[in-house]
Amino acid sequence: MAHELAPTSSPVASAPRGADGAFGETLGNLIGALDELRQQTTGQAVFRLAPKLLCEAGAWARVMISAVTGSTWSPLALFGLTDTGHAILEIDGVIEDLHISLASPLVEAEVVRRRLPALITDAQNEPRTHRPLVTRTGTCEYVVAPVVADSVVVGLVHADRPAKSETLSALDRDLLRLFADGVGLCIERAELTDRLQRQETILAEACAAALDSLPALTAVSELQLGAHGGTESLNTAGAHERARTEQHREWARLARLTSREREVLTLLASGATNAQLADRLTVAESTIKSHVKHILHKLGTANRAAAISCYLRETRTDERRPR
């Protein structure tokens, strides 16, 4: 069999006898590369830097990173290792604009579907490889592993050693799997940190918008309330009635939203960007922008912060409402 998927759950394959020192160095280099990826502040930065760092770790002479979007995978960059130990960009997939369908019986389609790495030992004669890419890169054998972030396969990492005599083995497959899993975790970490920062900003803006929407209480009105007991009761009752009226007004405005618009508003309140919303709801980013525009119009709000403030007030009131 020219290709072999890894078992669903298994430890890293054993290093060849007498190669423990080289294996330890390789593993240390991979861990060092992942540690550097952890310092990146965005998921995109992690994804772009990963193939270069992996190539310079020295386990393989060439490393390619590809993005997976829906049922398509697109090579973004292929790095090659020089004699000085530096990685150079050999193929820029962004320029070549190659998009490959993840259709059966392609090896990569199975890797994405099962979320398992694979070892291809005879790429030139394996009918399940992508022939144009194998020919373009002159690949004889390779290992490939999926990058999974937030339970979604977002990329593929390919690696090989075209100029070296030793063949690839299950150990290469499992090491690549470890690195790809680490890349996915680094992406999640960067995106969670970024989302937390944006949520803090949105919450601050929503609180400011909520405060701006409250009627101003002057010192004079406070003195009037304290000087007239009967008036105080009437004013208190009136304030409660106005609050209930405002709540009903907000419920009525939110009731105008469609289920999809309500879903978009909920995700906006969580701090998601337009791009993340589009990916989550599997629609175009322009569709998300259209939804947001309709939401602002129906709620009568000028911006997202005010819309989120309206949503948060309604949600908080709904949670306190007797069941």
Which of 19-28, 57-66, 285-294, 297-306 has the weakest average pLDDT? Answer: 19-28
Lowest mean pLDDT among 28-32, 68-72, 162-166, 295-299: 162-166
pLDDT at 96: 79
**Position 164 pLDDT exceeds 70:** yes
| Average of per-residue pLDDT across 299-305 | 86
Whether omega before 105 lies within 30 degrees of 0, making that bond cis, reads yes
Give start and end residues of each alpha helix (H) in the chain. 20-37, 43-56, 93-96, 107-114, 131-137, 170-213, 219-227, 229-255, 259-269, 274-281, 285-299, 304-320
Q: What is the maximum span of the chain, computed from C-alpha positions, in angstroms?
A: 96
Q: Per mean pLDDT, which range of 61-75, 76-90, 214-228, 276-290 is the poorest?
A: 214-228
Query: Residue 300: pLDDT band by 50, 70, 90 thresholds?
Result: confident
State the Cα–Cα distance between residues 53 and 30, nearest whole angstrom.
8
CA distance linking residue 299 with residue 312, whole number of Å: 13
pLDDT, averaged across the chain: 83
**Lookup: tokens for 278:** 């589009």
Q: Which domains does the chain have, with CATH numbers?
A: 3-191 (3.30.450.40), 192-320 (1.10.10.10)
pLDDT higher than 60, residue 9: no
Q: Is the pLDDT of residue 78 over 60?
A: yes
d(CA 157, CA 27): 17
* Cα dist from 106 to 100, 291, 304, 315, whole Å: 10, 37, 44, 47
What is the DSSP track for 244-303? HHHHHHHHHHHHTS-HHHHHHHHHHHTT--HHHHHHHHTS-HHHHHHHHHHHHHHHT-SS
pTM of the model: 0.64
DSSP SS3 for 120: strand
Position 202 scores a pLDDT of 86
| CA separation, residue 126 to residues 1, 3, 105, 119, 122 (Å) | 9, 8, 11, 11, 6
